[in-house]
């Protein structure tokens, strides 16, 4: 009789896995071995027994990847004129989507690094998934500035490399700061993610049912044997990387905000942008974590590992950062009035009542008004409600970037230079293509690597048993 891993039996027999409740980070009955088997079972699950929803989602996202390839090929052939950008709106979907994707990538570092330093145990089952999401979001973000160059094959000019053409980057430009900030953030996040994976890769190597899997995971595990010296060096490296990654959460989106804040354009030239952008990035990042985690949790019957404790905690953080974003919106309105600058006042009034006023009304609804439902605990404990709210917030945060970019550019100081911006089908094709690319990478990650940290879950099982034994001893006394 062929051996079936626990995950395959759960999916094939459609077994119900119960959520342990809003106070537990793991379901009852887990042992060190069963916890490991449940996580690795998703990876070792035969492709033919994958959930149909996963197969459909992977196929649809792959179709959008092909759409991205077509859009990029046509862009290289014809140039950026196929987009809706013009004078005065020389920045369009490219910068909007760049800022949006960078923001989504912030939740992974926050969950992994900052919550690790703060010793928050609820991060255990979601940190690996959110770290991977960070890498894929940064990869999507990096496409847009390169494509926006017009000659993307010359993107290496942005780096200060020795050359005979005397082509040097402009170090006073915030666009140049973006190159170093985003590349540093992406590299640090990659190292942080891979270091955290090493013990789990060794577990995958030792449990792999096929020789080719043992060899692949063995190479990736770089000789990990779980000795005391290995664990000592691992914890030291992980702690140092967490400390290094923490200020990057603040610095990266601060530098991205400088693209706007260091200009003289009304609506951009404001000191509120750095903290306002950072809060918005974390806000949209947590929304994307919930948007992706909730369906995958259901498809693979992981309710006893990704519990309501994780979802409620993420919803609370989302609510908190949303209030900071609301404060940023109110300060923008206050500055436009208190400054006495007629250009600033006109910009804000145009943002509300101008031709793009409907986008501003939508972003206020999506980012401020509707998420206030999260104050209600019954809503936070309703899976469908939290998932729908996370989608609404992602839409709202994208609209925020669109409003910031377009409404400040389309009506400048001189009325004779005013114009309108409307994205073309190629703008939408590029954007939806990156969404498909992001989702396809997520689908592959879930099936090829452990999306939940094995050793951290096993540590939680161990501590849970210790806690239960202490409670039992106390009751006997």
| pLDDT (average), residues 11-39 | 69
Please check whether residue 314 is in contact with residue 125, taking contact to mean a CB–CB distance below 8 angstroms: no
Model pLDDT, residue 19: 64
d(CA 230, CA 232): 5
Model pLDDT, residue 100: 93
| pLDDT (average), residues 149-178 | 81
CA nearest neighbour of 411 among 328, 327, 352, 365: 352
Model confidence pLDDT, tens digit, residues 29-59: 777 777 788 888 788 877 666 778 888 888 9
Confidence category of residue 14, pLDDT binned at 50, 70, 90: low
Contacts 24+ apart (CB under 8 A), 373-377: 374/315, 374/316, 374/318, 374/319, 374/322, 375/319, 377/312
- In this model, does residue 28 exceed pLDDT 50? yes
88: cis peptide before it, omega within 30°? yes
Model confidence pLDDT, tens digit, residues 174-214: 888 888 888 888 898 899 999 989 998 998 888 888 888 88
Model pLDDT, residue 475: 47
Confidence category of residue 406, pLDDT binned at 50, 70, 90: very high
And the tokens for 49? 């027994």
CB atoms within 10 A of CB 210: 9
- In this model, does residue 4 exceed pLDDT 60? no
| pLDDT (average), residues 395-401 | 93
Model pLDDT, residue 379: 92
Confidence category of residue 232, pLDDT binned at 50, 70, 90: very high
Higher pLDDT, 463 or 102: 102
d(CA 95, CA 431): 11
Model pLDDT, residue 469: 43
CA nearest neighbour of 53 among 290, 289, 297, 306: 297
- In this model, does residue 426 exceed pLDDT 80? yes
CA nearest neighbour of 17 among 303, 286, 264, 219: 303
Instruction: State pTM to two decimals.
Output: 0.89
Count CA within 13 A, CB hemisphere, residue 54.
24
Model pLDDT, residue 129: 84
- In this model, does residue 164 exceed pLDDT 90? no
Please check whether residue 341 is in contact with residue 384, taking contact to mean a CB–CB distance below 8 angstroms: no
- In this model, does residue 7 exceed pLDDT 80? no
| pLDDT (average), residues 279-293 | 89
Q: Which residue has the tokens 């060899």?
A: 215
Model pLDDT, residue 17: 64
Confidence category of residue 384, pLDDT binned at 50, 70, 90: very high
């Amino acid at each position: 009789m062929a051996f079936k891993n626990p995950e395959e039996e759960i999916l094939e027999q459609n077994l119900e896995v119960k959520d342990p409740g809003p106070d537990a980070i793991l379901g009852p009955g887990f042992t060190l071995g069963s916890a490991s088997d449940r996580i690795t079972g998703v990876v070792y699950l035969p492709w033919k027994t994958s959930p149909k929803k996963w197969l459909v989602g992977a196929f649809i996202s792959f179709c959008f990847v092909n759409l991205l390839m077509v859009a990029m090929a046509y862009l290289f052939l014809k140039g950026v004129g196929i987009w809706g950008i013009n004078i005065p709106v020389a920045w369009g979907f490219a910068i909007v989507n760049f800022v949006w994707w960078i923001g989504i990538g912030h939740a992974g570092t926050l969950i992994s690094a900052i919550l690790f330093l703060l010793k928050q145990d609820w991060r255990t089952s979601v940190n690996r998934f959110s770290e991977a999401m960070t890498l894929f979001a940064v990869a999507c973000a990096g496409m847009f500035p390169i494509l926006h160059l017009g000659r993307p094959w010359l993107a290496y000019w942005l780096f200060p490399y020795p050359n005979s053409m005397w082509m040097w980057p402009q170090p006073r430009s915030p666009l140049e700061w973006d190159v170093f900030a985003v590349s540093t953030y992406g590299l640090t996040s990659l190292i942080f993610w891979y270091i955290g994976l090493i013990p789990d890769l060794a577990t995958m190597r030792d449990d792999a049912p096929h020789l080719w899997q043992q060899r692949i995971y063995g190479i990736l595990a770089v000789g990990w044997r779980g000795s005391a010296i290995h664990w000592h060096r691992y914890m030291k490296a992980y702690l140092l990387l967490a400390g290094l990654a923490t200020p990057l959460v603040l610095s990266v989106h601060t530098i991205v905000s400088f693209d706007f804040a260091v200009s003289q354009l009304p609506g951009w030239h404001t000191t509120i942008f750095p903290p306002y952008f950072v809060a918005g990035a974390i806000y949209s990042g947590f929304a994307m974590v919930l948007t992706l985690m909730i369906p995958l949790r259901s498809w693979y019957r992981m309710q006893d590992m990704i519990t309501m404790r994780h979802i409620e905690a993420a919803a609370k953080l989302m609510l908190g950062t949303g209030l900071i974003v609301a404060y940023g919106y109110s300060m923008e309105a206050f500055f436009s009035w208190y400054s006495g600058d007629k250009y600033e006042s006109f910009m804000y009034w145009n943002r509300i009542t101008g031709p793009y006023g409907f986008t501003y009304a939508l972003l206020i609804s999506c980012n401020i008004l509707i998420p206030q439902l999260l104050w209600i605990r019954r809503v936070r404990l309703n899976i469908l409600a939290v998932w729908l709210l996370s989608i609404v917030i992602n839409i709202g945060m994208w609209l925020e970037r669109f409003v910031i970019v377009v409404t400040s550019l389309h009506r400048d100081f001189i009325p004779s230079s005013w114009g309108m911006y409307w994205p073309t089908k190629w703008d939408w094709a590029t954007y939806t293509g990156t969404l498909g690319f992001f989702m396809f990478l997520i689908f592959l990650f879930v099936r090829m690597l452990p999306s939940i940290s094995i050793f951290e879950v096993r540590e939680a099982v161990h501590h849970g048993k210790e806690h239960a034994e202490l409670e039992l001893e106390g009751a006997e006394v």
